[in-house]
Amino acid sequence: MTTSILDLADLINAEVLGDTDLEITGPETLENAKSGQITFLANSKYLEFLASTQASAIIIQTDHLDQLKLHQLGRTLLVVPDAMSSMLQILEHFHSPPDAPEIGISARAEIGRCVQIGNATNVHAGAYIADGVVIGSGCNILPGAYIGPRCVLGNQVTIHPNVVIYGLALIGDCVTIHANSVIGADGFGYRQRNGRHEKMPHFGQVEIQDNVEIGACTTVDRAMIGKTVIGLGTKIDNLVMVAHNCNLGEHNLLAGQCGLAGSVTTGDHVVCAGQVGIADHVHLGSGAVCGGMSGVHQDLKAGQTYLGLPAASELQTIKIWSAQKKLPQMRMQLKQLQQEVERLSQQQNQESPSETERAA
């Protein structure tokens, strides 16, 4: 598939500087692009790569133009206000997924009793739909998916292969759940009686609101009582653990290997980077950002960035880290000071008159 540079310029509403007769075969990164391909520059720290890229065309932001020597670059430029957004449009143009085939309900799918399935929904071979499930229109239930009793799925929901959704789950519209994720398993709740761990039963539900995307191999546990809630527009990466009775606000971002213990709550637009761990019953205020590998043991205020273990404000943590780098030097200085104090103390003892001399 090739597209003329002028057609791409029209697609992203760009100004063309250079050869307008180019034919572009596809998009690629700055480092890996070859002749005939298009790439982009959204961050000025990568300006140095422009001289070595083999791309025939580069999408570049208006505010980077004054940093270029255009006569030396020898590339066609598409000038736009936002290079990243424009590149995403180009990617969609060249890699738009094929329309899903309308297979309806496969004869090799297992469908329980009293199941309701909307128009234009595909249920692929090997999927299992339990009794009393309600599925909206335009959904795709892919091979090997299990949807438990009395679950309710909205419209335009995609359930990828081998996803397991336990009974009573509520899934909103335009939700995507990727392969091998588990929704609605029992929470990790036990109490000790007579020296043994006794399981606490979980009778609650999981509610996943509209426009949520959940990555592969992620687990969202059902509530013990009530609901575990994933708020509107929240995006969850692969290998994330959301424990029972958590209640996440709208448009949260949870990166890979995050772990949320039971009854964690968040406001809106909260961000947790990779491997963040959050203790039970902690609340993260709206707009809070937790840096990678942070350990959160107490409530975090809204609109602030936190780092470290235990998590503290970004400025405070950076000061601590800076001080830690100096610890070897400080340790040597402390030893030197101790030695000097001992030397001065011995010197003072030698110079001071003894009790016998003072009596004489």
250-289: burial string, b at 16+ Cβ within 10 Å, e else: bbbbbbbbbbbbbbbbbbbbbbbbbebbbbeebbbbbebb
Question: For residue 8, what are the CA distances in angstroms to 42, 84, 98, 234?
Answer: 17, 14, 20, 32
Q: For residues 318 and 14, give the distance between their C-alpha atoms in angstroms, rounded to a whole number.
A: 41
Take residue 285 and report the two structure tokens written for it.
């205020």
Q: For residues 30 and 57, give the distance between their C-alpha atoms in angstroms, rounded to a whole number.
A: 10
Query: Hey, what long-range contacts does 73-77 have (CB within 8 A, 24 or more apart)?
Result: 75/18, 75/50, 76/5, 76/16, 76/17, 76/18, 76/19, 76/20, 76/22, 77/16, 77/17, 77/18
Check: CB of residue 252 under 8 Å from CB of residue 208.
no
222: nearest Cα among 273, 174, 274, 170: 170
Q: For residues 138 and 173, give the distance between their C-alpha atoms in angstroms, rounded to a whole number.
A: 10
269 is catalytic: no
Q: For residues 181 and 145, give the distance between their C-alpha atoms in angstroms, rounded to a whole number.
A: 10
Take residue 287 and report the two structure tokens written for it.
């707009």
Characterize the bridge pairing of strands 196-199 and 182-185: unpaired
Q: For residues 39 and 31, give the distance between their C-alpha atoms in angstroms, rounded to a whole number.
A: 9
142: nearest Cα among 179, 182, 181, 167: 179
Across the beta sheet with 152-153, the strand order is: 116-117, 134-135, 152-153, 170-171, 205-208, 227-230, 247-248, 265-266, 283-284
Take residue 149 and report the two structure tokens written for it.
């009793």
Neighbours of 141 (CB within 10 A): 30
Residue in the structure block whose two tokens are 């213990």: 261
* Candidate list 64, 124, 178, 244, residue with the active-site label: 244
Residues with active-site annotation:
244
